[in-house]
Amino acid sequence: MIFHQPDNSVGNHSYNAVIYARGTDWEMHFHQNLELIYAISGNLHCNIGNKEEVLGTEDFALCLSNEIHSLHPDSDTVYWVGVFSEDFVPEFAAAVKGKVGEGSRFRCDGAMLPYLRQNLLREEAPDFYLLSSCLYAVCGMYLEQIPLTERHRNESSIMNFILDYIAENYRNRITLKTVADALGYDYFYFSRIFCSVFGMHFNDYLNTYRFNAAVSLLLKTNLPITQVALESGFQSIRTFNDVFRRKTGSAPAEYRKQKKRAEG
């Protein structure tokens, strides 16, 4: 079974990093945020986008947004995983949109690797600007070493196209049936597939996607609350406020004030 990780499908400079040891496996899963993997020692068997690769000591791999992947280490393997939202590296995200890598494994040699070990490849997050610079440096190495090709429908899973469709149309009035019809699937079959893979109903996922878009607009623009709601795809202010209160405990206007006060 392939499962969706909603906690790793949030934007707004979301970042977390963990060091795994002694046989910690991850079965097939996907999430919206990018995932950087580094083999500290031993061998890590990866399946990323249906491509099998083995990371040896000091190898890196990068999973692009919503790319299905699994990780299976040898019993003595130690590896680091950093999951980060695309807004840390927006130019890179734009460069790889709609594309897949012909592989995922690459190296960061020379002076870069000691620099990354000191500043990135640990569980404690560096400050924002240092983190962004490290992530851009690694993504740049990925682009230098991994050829990219356009993603075609017959080469991808249904999940990728569901997510692509939502990303392109979340501002519009869409439903599960809209997506099923657009992708040519029977509605009831499509509904079962969506719930089993995403672990939530379509409207919950769509509202989460719209919520993340709204947070970005609230923090990065001075648009009125009503306009933020409409540009994020919410069809009513009431729904927008309800979703926001469930997720943050605050109304949108108050959330914006709190965040701006915290930023000084």
pLDDT-based confidence at residue 155 (cuts at 50, 70, 90): very low
164 and 55 co-located in one domain: no
Q: What's the pLDDT score for residue 157?
A: 61
pTM of the model: 0.72
Residue with tokens 């997506």: 179
123 and 174 co-located in one domain: no
77 and 173 co-located in one domain: no
pLDDT-based confidence at residue 181 (cuts at 50, 70, 90): very high
Per-residue pLDDT tens digits for 4-37: 676 777 777 889 999 998 778 898 888 889 999 9
194 and 85 co-located in one domain: no
166 and 146 co-located in one domain: no
Per-residue pLDDT tens digits for 52-68: 999 999 999 999 988 88
Report the chain's terminal Cα–Cα distance, integer Å. Answer: 45
Residue 82: which CATH number? 2.60.120.810
d(CA 22, CA 194): 33
Which of the two residues, 91 and 165, has the higher pLDDT score?
91
Kindly state the tokens that stand for 36. 């950087």
Instruction: Express as a percent the part of the chain with pLDDT over 70.
Output: 95
Residue 48: beta bridge partners?
A: 51, 69
Q: What's the pLDDT score for residue 252?
A: 93
Q: Which domain holds residue 258?
A: 157-262
Query: Considering 150, 184, 208, which residue would you say is the last residue of a domain?
Result: 150
Q: What's the pLDDT score for residue 4?
A: 66
Query: Considering 120, 150, 180, which residue would you say is the last residue of a domain?
Result: 150
- Total domain count, the chain: 2
257 and 176 co-located in one domain: yes
Residue 203: which CATH number? 1.10.10.60
Q: What's the pLDDT score for residue 264?
A: 60
198 and 222 co-located in one domain: yes
Instruction: Give helix 202-220 / helix 252-262 axis angle, nearest 10°.
Output: 50
